[in-house]
Structure 1
């Protein structure tokens, strides 16, 4: 170079890049690309939301366990909500319809692309069967929800029966029968598995006098539907002793006899 400095190859390369011509879109080109992009997006939207290409072709139901609640019953409840483009199905609306089925405790709904509406249900499980005045049995789950009434109780579920004392009948206006039943169901729901499978009946004589009848002829005086968790733990320990009568009405001073 004229000033005697050596040329820097990197500097010359950068100068060459800066002087190279840049690709510039004309205003017309930008308009054409914009129109093309909008057309592509519009076509995709039509394909997904309006055409029949991605219609619902099946409703897959999971979680039903027996003939009391079946897949076809769930599909019948969903009805027309399960038709048309999958993208337009109102999942919340479908879930609400399914959860309105008495035997369903909870439902999940999602899209199984490209053509399947997926539904998963959690069925209610009976913790007690309440015997009515008509001799029929209403099944109740752990949340206290009544969801089915049948001629016989489910196998392995304690039967709640009101056998009220005269004193309990006298205070019916203070503690109603539904409240008594609710208390007995709470007792049944809190029973440990090893006790629940042996409990044939939960007899309510009054609010403070609930009795369990166990298989083999043993009985448990439970008392009121209070301190259920503590009473359950005490009862499990108590049943390791020989006896046919167990008393946990006062869990701090339990007793065994017989």
Structure 2
């Protein structure tokens, strides 16, 4: 150096870097890279949404609990809505079709990459069976939805029968038969399992006069559908006592006789 000082290597390196050539893309290079990126994205989009590479190859059904509703029946209800590339399947449309099955209470649908359509259902379970005038039995779930009619009642489910007296018939415009059935179903839905399994039938004489016929010959006077939870708790306690007639129509003053 002219002044006699030693040069700092770091300063020389920084000074040299200021004059080093920088790599810059020309407009043509930018266009080429953009075209390549678009080509790659387009290829991926074609692969996922249009080609058969990621087609649906199977439909997995979860939640089926008995032979009354099979996985094949669910697949048949889905039909062609579940065909084609997995990414393009209308999940909401598949869900609507599955929920339209009478025995299905709820459904969830999602994609199981790379080739599986996943379906999970909640199957309806009967809490009561309504005996129709033609002798057939309509199954009703806890939500009051009728979903199947068969020639025989399933075991362990109380059978609702309307045995209306004249006063109840005269009051049909005030409380309809369907409302009476709904009240009885609400009672059945509120029964503890230990009671429901013993309840062979529920006889509806009027809105305020529902009776349970238990296995072994015991009878429970239930009264109206009001205070079902409380009546159920009282009945469970009463069943530990000897008797053939149990009255919980007034749960604050239950009675046992016979």
Q: TM-score range by the shorter chain?
A: over 0.9
| Residues 1:3 and 1:154: Cα distance change in structure 2 (over 3 Å) | farther
Q: Give the gaps of 5 or more residues in structure 2.
A: none
Partner residue, 1:56: 56
Output the CA distance in 2 between the equivalents of 1:50 and 1:99: 28
Structure 1 position 119 matched with structure 2 position 104: no
SS of the equivalent of 2:118 reads strand
Number of the residue aligned with 2:102: 102
Gaps of 5+ in 1: none
Change (3 A) 1:10 1:161: farther
Residue in structure 1 matched with residue 161 of structure 2 by the alignment? 161
2-structure distance, mates of 1:9, 1:220:
103
RMSD, matched Cα: 1.9
Separation in 1, partners of 2:222, 2:18: 91
Instruction: Quote the offset at 1:23 in angstroms.
Output: 2.2
Change (3 A) 1:199 1:25: same
- In 2, distance between residues paired with 1:35 and 1:252? 82
Q: Which moved more, 1:138-147 or 1:224-233?
A: 224-233
Provide closer, same or farther for how the CA distance between residues 133 and 10 of structure 1 changes in structure 2, counting only shifts above 3 A. farther
Q: Which residue of 1 aligns with 2:66?
A: 66
| SS of equivalent to 2:33 | helix
Distance 1:243 1:39, change over 3 A: same
Residue 194 of structure 1 aligns to a residue whose secondary structure is helix
Question: Is residue 175 of structure 1 aligned with residue 175 of structure 2?
Answer: yes
Aligned pair count reads 258
Could you list the per-position Cα deviations for residues 45-81 of structure 1 after superposition, in whole angstroms to 9, with x for gaps in the alignment?
Answer: 0001011111111112122222211111111111111
SS at match of 2:97: helix
Q: Report the counterpart of residue 144 of structure 2 in structure 1.
A: 144
2:44 aligned partner:
44
| 1:218 paired residue number | 218
> Counterparts of 2:223 and 2:156 in 1: how far apart (Å)?
23
Matched residue of 1:202: which SS? strand
Matches within 5 A, 1:233-244: 233-244=233-244
Give distance in 2, aligned partners of 1:217 and 1:89: 56
